[in-house]
Chain A
Amino acid sequence: QITLKESGPTLVKPTQTLTLTCTFSGFSLSTSGVGVGWIRQPPGKALEWLALIYWDDDKRYSPSLKSRLTITKDTSKNQVVLTMTNMDPVDTATYYCAQDPGGYFDYWGQGTLVTVSS
C-alpha cells in the first residue's frame, strides 16, 4: 500500500523559508522511473505544480518559482524535502506531495495547509 504524508509548519511569516517534508511508504525512490513531486493549491483556486525529484536525483522545478525552490531526497528515510524561500502571503496554500510514475501523479498525500502571515 502506497501512502504519502506531508509535514511542516502551518504558519510562516513573510520572508521566512518554508521547509516541508514528504514521508512515504510502499515504494522506493531508488526504483527506476519513480519520482515524487510537490503541488500546491491556494484556497479556492486551481492546482499548481512546484517541483519533482526522480529516482536518479534528476530535479525539475516550476520555471516561475525555480529561484525559490529546492527539492532533495533521502532514500534511506523515504523522505523528500521541499524548501521555498522568501515566503509571501500569496504562497498561502495547501501543499501536496505525490508519487510520479511518469509525469502525472497517481498517489497523493492528504495535503498540509500553510498560511503565510505576520
Chain B
Amino acid sequence: DIQMTQSPSTLSASVGDRVTITCRASQSISSWLAWYQQKPGKAPKLLIYKASSLESGVPSRFSGSGSGTEFTLTISSLQPDDFATYYCQQYNSYGLTFGGGTKVEIK
C-alpha cells in the first residue's frame, strides 16, 4: 500500500489566517489525490480531487496543489466554518489510502 502522511496532525489558527496542510505519499501518485473535510459526527465532505480541482460548491478559499509525492491544501482565509479535520486520500492505486488527518483548531 501507498502510505499517506499528513502534517501537522493538529494546527491552531485564527479566523482570517492562511492555513496550509501537507500530505506526502510514500511513492509517486501523479495527481491522483483528493482532500476531504470532516466535522465531528458527520461524514467527510469532498473538497478537492485530482490534486487541484475544486469540487462544485466548495468555497474558492480552498485550493490544492502538488504532484508526485508532495501535496498541499491551502485555506486562504480561515472562516469559523472551517474548523474541522482534513484528510488526504490517494487513488493512484488500490488499496486506496487516507492520511492520518489534520485537525484545525481555534487558536
Contacts and interface: CB of A to CB of B under 8 A. Distances in A.
B99 A60 contact: no
Interface residues of A, number: 22
Q: Looking at chain B's contact residues, is the secondary structure mostly helix, strand, loop, or mixed?
A: loop
B66 interface: no
Contacts of B96: 37, 49, 52, 103
Which of B87, B91, B95, B101 has the most A CB atoms < 10 Å from its CB?
B95
A31 to B, nearest CB: 18
B34 A110 contact: no
Interface of B: 1, 32, 34, 36, 38, 43-46, 49, 55, 87, 89, 91, 94-101
Interface of A: 37, 46-49, 52, 60-64, 96, 98, 102-106, 108-111
